[in-house]
């Protein structure tokens, strides 16, 4: 079965072809794939046993986003990354590199640090053993009484670490494939607008009463947009979204967000459509110059704003990169959006060792002044249990949209526990990214337990 959709045709590539600028070849490439139509077993979301397999065999071996580099800008800065019942200390070294250590004392296992901060050494509060921030042992109290340590490695165990786009990734598996191989040609997609040119303007997190996959899948396709976010429909080609699968770990969706989609809109003059678009999306009205389209006016306006923020011209970026909704996914927990249509990155992961709750995180990634060091990431804003995303000022006009997605997340989480069905019926094309990453989970859990 071909992946070619029989109904609506994706329009991303055709918009790129008529764009005012040329896109990088990797970015403009459309992929062929076939993820099949098999039911996806519901037990993958609800069973404790499946969660334990994921924890033991997948999260212990996959490259995963642990923090942003600006969480640890200076030597001896640290932040913990919690995944399942494991905790890692991510810390900046004197030479500027970053290391990640198992957050557990080598004596009786006491957790060494919590949260984030800056320390000259990691000192265990229980009996006082200590480690330098490069992981080497600094001291064992009452060493005379531990003769068995003579030939032992007293360094803190490390995870592999990589950085990409300003984010820090770790892999607990000492035999993990290099991160560069894991992400394939992702660099080439972001070559015209590297993610490291952004700063974390806000980091919003919410404990979510749903399996991590239920929450993440609420954001991985555009199939849901018309019923869930009807306000976005009048000027957006959501049904014509293009989906791409690049390798076993990386996929993408690409939606044209500013376009005259209805017959009524198509019959409008450029200025009428500009007025309609501004009203529909809550943007400021735009007075078009002769011959100018609403897309080009908005793209030019945004190029000016971004260039001013960066202190560097972005005149080379396509209208698509300035306006539209392009979301990448790097398995299993990193979802950066490309361009300036939506300047966010998502992360989803289990909440501790609970298979029925997860942590949903939104990083607001705004352009940063490139002549200055990247500012330190702000403190995480936690959405209260009885709060809403709309209450979080930092989220701006996107907060109410997350509240619409939240209804779906809670509803699916409840429904999956009460349904009599055994499997999900996913669409062949629009939900192919879901099947794709489930296959990746399968590949990990088909492996034996790590030693
Ligand atoms: Fe850490 Fe004893 S548990 S020094």
Distance CA 131, CA 129 (A): 7
Residue with tokens 């699968």, as numbered in its chain:
245
Cβ-contact 236, 426 below 8 angstroms = no
| Nearest protein Cα to ligand 1, atom 4 | 127
Per-residue pLDDT, 230? 83
User: What are the backbone angles phi and psi of residue 213, rounded to the nearest 5°?
Assistant: -75, -35
Answer yes or no: is the C-beta of 124 below 6 A from any ligand 1 atom: yes
Q: Is the peptide bond before 332 cis (omega within 30 degrees of 0)?
A: yes
Q: Which residue minimizes the CA distance to atom 3 of ligand 1?
A: 108
pLDDT at 281: 77
| Ligand 1 near 108 CB (within 6 A) | yes
Residue 262 to residues 53, 222, 274, 276, 298, Cα–Cα distance (Å): 47, 18, 14, 12, 20
- Rounded Cα distance, 24 and 21, in Å: 10
Query: What element of type H or E holds 294?
Result: helix 294-310
Instruction: State whether the beta carbon of 126 lies less than 6 angstroms from ligand 1.
Output: yes
CA 25, 346, 378: angle at the middle one, nearest 5? 115
Instruction: Name residues of the chain where pLDDT drops below 50.
Output: none
pLDDT at position 233 is: 75
- Per the CB < 8 A criterion, the answer to whether 1 and 36 are in contact is yes
pLDDT in tens, 403-421: 999 999 999 999 999 999 9
pLDDT at 121: 98
Verify whether ligand 1 is closer than 6 Å to residue 143 (CB atom).
no
pLDDT score for 6: 61
Q: What pLDDT shows up at residue 3?
A: 57
Ligand 1 and 8: CB distance under 6 A: no
> What confidence score (pLDDT) does residue 440 get?
98
Q: How far is the CA of 144 from the centre of ligand 1 (A)?
A: 15
Does the predicted TM-score (pTM) go above 0.85? yes
Ligand 1, atom nearest to 110 Cα: 3
């Amino acid at each position: 079965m071909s992946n070619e959709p029989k109904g609506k045709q994706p329009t991303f590539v055709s918009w790129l072809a008529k764009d005012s600028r040329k896109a990088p070849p990797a970015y403009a490439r459309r992929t062929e794939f076939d993820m099949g139509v098999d039911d996806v077993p519901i037990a993958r979301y609800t069973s404790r046993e499946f969660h334990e397999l994921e924890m033991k065999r997948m999260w212990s071996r996959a490259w995963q986003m642990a923090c942003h580099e600006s969480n640890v800008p200076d030597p001896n800065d640290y932040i913990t990354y919690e995944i399942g019942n494991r905790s890692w200390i991510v810390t900046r070294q004197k030479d500027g590199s970053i290391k990640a250590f198992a957050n557990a004392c080598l004596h009786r296992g006491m957790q060494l640090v919590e949260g984030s901060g800056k320390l000259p050494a990691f000192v265990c509060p229980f009996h006082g053993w200590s480690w330098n921030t490069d992981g080497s042992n600094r001291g064992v109290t009452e060493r005379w009484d531990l003769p068995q340590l003579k030939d032992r490695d007293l360094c803190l165990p490390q995870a592999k670490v990589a950085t990409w786009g300003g984010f820090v990734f770790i892999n607990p598996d000492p035999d993990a494939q290099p991160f560069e191989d894991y992400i394939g040609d992702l660099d080439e997609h972001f070559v015209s607008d590297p993610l490291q040119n952004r700063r974390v303007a806000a980091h919003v997190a919410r404990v979510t009463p749903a399996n991590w996959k239920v929450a993440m899948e609420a954001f991985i396709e555009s199939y849901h947009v018309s019923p869930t976010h009807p306000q976005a429909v009048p000027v957006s080609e959501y049904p014509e979204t293009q989906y791409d699968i690049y390798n076993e770990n990386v996929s993408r969706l690409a939606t044209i967000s500013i376009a005259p989609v209805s017959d009524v809109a198509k019959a409008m003059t450029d200025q009428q459509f500009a007025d309609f678009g501004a009203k529909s999306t809550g943007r400021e009205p735009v007075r078009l110059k002769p011959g100018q389209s609403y897309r080009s006016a908005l793209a030019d306006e945004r190029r000016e704003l971004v260039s001013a923020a960066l202190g560097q011209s972005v005149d080379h970026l396509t209208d698509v990169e300035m306006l539209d909704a392009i979301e990448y996914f790097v398995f299993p927990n990193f979802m950066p959006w490309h361009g300036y249509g939506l300047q966010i990155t998502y992360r989803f992961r289990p909440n501790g060792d609970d298979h029925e709750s997860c942590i949903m995180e939104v990083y607001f990634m705004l352009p940063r002044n490139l002549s200055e060091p990247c500012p330190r990431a702000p403190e995480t804003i936690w959405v209260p249990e009885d709060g809403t995303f709309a209450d979080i000022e930092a989220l701006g006009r996107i907060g109410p949209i997350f509240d619409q997605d939240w209804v779906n997340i809670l509803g699916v989480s409840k429904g999956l526990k009460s349904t009599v069905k055994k499997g999900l019926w996913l669409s062949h094309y629009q939900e192919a990214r879901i099947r794709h990453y489930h296959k990746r989970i399968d590949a990990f859990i088909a492996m034996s337990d790590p030693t």
